[in-house]
Structure 1
Amino acid sequence: MLELGKVQNLMVIQESDFGLYLAEDQDELQDKVLLPNAEIPEGTKLGDKIDVFLYKDTQDRIVATCKEPLLKLGEVAFLEVAEVTDIGAFLKWGLIKDLLLPFKEQLVKVEAGKSYVVGLYIDKTDRLCATMKVYNLLSSESPYIINKMTRGLVYRQTPEHGVFVAVDGKYHGLIINKEIYREYNIGDWIDIRIKNVRPDGKLELTERRQVNSQMEIDANQIMTILKKEDGFLPLNDKSNPNIIKEKLKMSKASFKRAVGRLLKEGVVEFANNGIKIRF
């Protein structure tokens, strides 16, 4: 079965003046799709199987391409607006025909040259279109387990919940407020660790590593800031957690672990209600 918006592995079953016809097997003559001449990889012949993406061309015909678009069904991506017209905005997504983002699928007024997080869906006329309403397009059935490292796309932030992340551009993820130690921009791809898998399958995330690995990162960060501050920081194990978070972008517990390591290594010491470099 041919499916719009997905990459499929299809067989070359027929040649024509316009290109090669592809299908799931050589006996399938009805459900076939054209791979235009300009798209054919060199050396492709009858019987070969190739990976192609299916979409509709400017004449509303289903066609195949060997190019991989920036967005497929079941994913979200950060795409640039090529132009805004009277039917909506058109987005650059790596194919000859730009992708339509209808006005009814826009959550904010978009501008040409700017980029926005969108997902892909099939509209009532069987066309591929973009939408900014991405939450319901994401899946809760991820392959991830706790402490697995991966990447994710930031697509929303709220004061109540935290930073919403599309893990691998496909799965529901959230950085809860207490795990936020810096500013995030919509459209950022970030490195994340799976902190928890909720019963509903949604993922709780953090940018911080497991304790031992993160301790070294935090210790190096404290030393970097100490050197910028002429070797002294007015922070200690009794400092307000919010001040530590604002100054160092880490929790008080992480600060105490990292300072403990630096004290043990003999590179810092407590002085004047703070810490300073020993040499």
Structure 2
Amino acid sequence: MKGIKLGEMNTMKVVKEVDFGMYLDGGDEGEILLPTRYVPEGCKPGDTLDVFVYLDQDERPVATTLTPKAMVGEFAYLEVAWTNQFGAFLDWGLMKDLFCPFREQKMKMVRGNSYIVHIHLDKESYRIMASAKVERYLSEETPDYRHGQEVDLLVWQKTDLGFKVIIDNKYGGLVYKDQIFKYIHTGDRMKGYIGTVRPDGKIDVTLQPTGKKLSREFSDALLDYLKENNGYCNLGDKSNAEDVYDRFQVSKKTFKKAIGDLYKRHIITLEEGGMGIVLVEK
């Protein structure tokens, strides 16, 4: 579709108003309808709008000012709205549901269940479709990430090693289970940090900043906590790791490093038995 990006946001000019909406200038594709329900209040010919373009029930290009849950080229966690003899139809936030044919399903999709899918243009029909065969759409290029770099994650699936994730909507990665200190689920979106990019292109990811940066950041956070809690914390370097995580969302190792840092700087003292921290009055 030359001039129009199907399945993406487009900036388009309003050409004329009709009883059932506005027509937008689609360039080589001609005029594209923006139905009345999506026309912004006060909109008039000559205005420019940012719209999402997809195909209506009759496979004709149509515009909407709604933003779908994902666009062409993106991965998303979508719920099955209904199924028929041809495949499943996923709720992606628009009037027309997103089709996932049987050939693009790893297992038969069930109404009410949600799945990680990739959204693409089918080369044969030029329809927007979803595919649960996620691996095929992940980049095989070796990424130019640096250790500790912050990235966006979509949690993909649980494995014996931990959780597979999709990094920056492009690469596959893995968060090892011994690096996970909170409950995460398929479909969660969160920030992550690059651990290692292996020679084969596989990427290890953590859910917390790595190394010295995390230690410095948490030292400051722990100091703020003490100041806000009358100079006392009833957790120390002998406390249970789960109690530490429940309170501060960091590992026991990171917690102990922060205690050591503050102690060396003579900012805190430790209770006997290592079960508490006291802020030194200055």
Residue type of the alignment partner of 2:42 = G
Is the counterpart of residue 9 in structure 1 residue 14 in structure 2?
no
- State the partner residue of 1:43: 42
Q: Does the CA contact (< 8 Å) of 1:152 and 1:166 recur in 2?
A: yes
- State the partner residue of 2:112: 113
Q: Does the CA contact (< 8 Å) of 1:181 and 1:250 recur in 2?
A: no
- State the partner residue of 1:54: 53
Question: What is the distance in 2 between the residues matched to 1:101 and 1:154?
Answer: 20
Q: Does the CA contact (< 8 Å) of 2:56 and 2:62 recur in 1?
A: yes
- State the partner residue of 1:83: 82
Instruction: Tell me the SS of whatever aligns to 1:233.
Output: coil
Q: Shift in Å at residue 181 of structure 1?
A: 2.6
Report Cα offsets for 1:120-157 as digits up to 9, x if no partner.
Answer: 12222221111112233345698976544343211124
Alignment length, in residue pairs?
A: 260
Q: Does the CA contact (< 8 Å) of 2:54 and 2:128 recur in 1?
A: yes
Question: What is the distance in 2 between the residues matched to 1:245 and 1:234?
Answer: 9
Residue type of the alignment partner of 1:121 = H
Is the counterpart of residue 156 in structure 1 residue 162 in structure 2?
no
TM-score, scaled to structure 1 = 0.74
Q: Does the CA contact (< 8 Å) of 1:74 and 1:119 recur in 2?
A: yes
* Change in 2 beyond 3 A, CA 1:53/1:199: farther
- State the partner residue of 1:74: 73
Q: Shift in Å at residue 194 of structure 1?
A: 3.5
CA RMSD between the two structures: 3.8
Q: Does the CA contact (< 8 Å) of 1:171 and 1:202 recur in 2?
A: no
Q: Shift in Å at residue 277 of structure 1?
A: 2.1
Q: Does the CA contact (< 8 Å) of 1:120 and 1:131 recur in 2?
A: yes
* Change in 2 beyond 3 A, CA 1:42/1:158: same
Residue type of the alignment partner of 1:89 = A
Instruction: Tell me the SS of whatever aligns to 2:218.
Output: helix
Is the counterpart of residue 97 in structure 1 residue 96 in structure 2?
yes
Is the counterpart of residue 137 in structure 1 residue 137 in structure 2?
yes
Is the counterpart of residue 233 in structure 1 residue 232 in structure 2?
no
TM-score, scaled to structure 2 = 0.73
- State the partner residue of 2:167: 167
Q: Shift in Å at residue 43 of structure 1?
A: 2.3
Question: What is the distance in 1 between the residues matched to 2:5 and 2:69?
Answer: 17
Instruction: Tell me the SS of whatever aligns to 1:187.
Output: coil
Report Cα offsets for 1:71-123 as digits up to 9, x if no partner.
Answer: 10111111122123222222111111111222222223433223221111222
Question: What is the distance in 2 between the residues matched to 1:44 and 1:202?
Answer: 49
Residue type of the alignment partner of 2:186 = I
Question: What is the distance in 2 between the residues matched to 1:18 and 1:184?
Answer: 45
Q: Does the CA contact (< 8 Å) of 2:193 and 2:208 recur in 1?
A: yes
Instruction: Tell me the SS of whatever aligns to 2:214.
Output: helix
Q: Shift in Å at residue 65 of structure 1?
A: 0.9
* Change in 2 beyond 3 A, CA 1:245/1:59: same
* Change in 2 beyond 3 A, CA 1:55/1:30: closer
- State the partner residue of 1:21: 23
Q: Does the CA contact (< 8 Å) of 1:19 and 1:37 recur in 2?
A: yes
Q: Does the CA contact (< 8 Å) of 2:104 and 2:133 recur in 1?
A: yes
Q: Does the CA contact (< 8 Å) of 2:90 and 2:100 recur in 1?
A: yes
* Unmatched 5+ stretches in structure 2: 227-232
Question: What is the distance in 1 between the residues matched to 2:206 and 2:200?
Answer: 18
* Change in 2 beyond 3 A, CA 1:247/1:47: closer
- State the partner residue of 1:258: 258
Q: Shift in Å at residue 201 of structure 1?
A: 7.8
Question: What is the distance in 2 between the residues matched to 1:12 and 1:185?
Answer: 43
* Change in 2 beyond 3 A, CA 1:143/1:56: farther
* Change in 2 beyond 3 A, CA 1:122/1:146: same
- State the partner residue of 2:229: none
**Range moving further from structure 2, 36-45 or 203-212:** 203-212
**Range moving further from structure 2, 57-66 or 146-155:** 146-155
Q: Shift in Å at residue 259 of structure 1?
A: 4.1
Report Cα offsets for 1:43-79 as digits up to 9, x if no partner.
Answer: 2222322111111111222111111101101111111
Q: Does the CA contact (< 8 Å) of 1:83 and 1:90 recur in 2?
A: yes
